[in-house]
Copies of this chain bind each other. A is one copy, B any other.
Amino acid sequence: MARAGLTADRVVEAAADLADEVGFGNITISALARRFGVKDASLYSHVKSVQDLRTRVAVLAARDFAERINAAIAGRAGRDALTAFAHAYREFALKHPGRYAATQMEISPEVLARSPGHRSLIEAPPAMLRAYGLAEPDLTDAVRLLRSAFHGYVVIEASAGFRHSRPVRTSWERGLDALHIALENWPSSSREGIARG
């Protein structure tokens, strides 16, 4: 009978699409096999296990995500870069919830070493903040706050956590303004750092 023409890459790509539809945590070998019209066992020629599949999806998703992020912040600095980063971040997370969740999966150092996307995603925030003139360890602290705020935002938004009437997009913009102010008035390790109220 006609073969489905599976390859590891095609399987992983389809898994990523599936993740965007049903959630990263809900991708199964069975569903993927059904999608290709083959038996479950057939997929094991291409991926070792569900866990392996998830990891590969994570690597793929990180590559895609990093691509968007890097395109967004290229040639920008300061507030401009912050805004561009944030919009690219939110857009990707909302458009590709499965892939986005995949990028947040915990991965081993070995996988990290082979995933340019993940490394790129780690390097982007500090690069983006360069124009704010923060030195270590403030830079690390600031990056952590931003990562947290962005991740928290899209996670809560994606899970329908903002039930209010106020448009989420507007709150997001205001939050960015506030973060910009925090970055410009960063409480460096020495002083108390209270700006005017």
Q: Could you mark each residue 123-144 of chain A with 1 if its beta carbon is under 8 Å from any beta carbon of chain B, else 0?
A: 0000000000000011011101
Quick check: is A6 within 8 A (CB to CB) of the other chain?
Answer: no
Task: Tell me the complex Cα distance, A142–B182, Å.
Answer: 13
Q: Is the interface of A mostly helix, strand, loop or mixed?
A: helix
CB within 8 A of A145: which of B141, B164, B179, B184?
B179
CB within 8 A of A185: which of B148, B171, B175, B196?
B196
Quick check: is A87 within 8 A (CB to CB) of the other chain?
Answer: no
Quick check: is A147 within 8 A (CB to CB) of the other chain?
Answer: yes
- Expressed in whole angstroms, the minimum distance between the Cβ of A156 and any Cβ of chain B is 6
Q: Are B151 and A155 in contact (CB under 8 A)?
A: yes
Counting every copy of the chain, the complex holds 2
Can you pick out 16 interface pairs between chain A and chain B where the beta carbons lie within 8 Å of each other? A105-B159, A106-B161, A140-B164, A140-B171, A141-B175, A144-B162, A144-B175, A148-B149, A148-B175, A149-B149, A149-B152, A151-B151, A174-B187, A178-B187, A179-B182, A196-B196
- A138-B174, A177-B187, A184-B195 known; 8 new pairs, CB 8 Å cut-off, are A140-B164, A140-B166, A150-B152, A151-B155, A152-B152, A174-B189, A185-B195, A196-B196
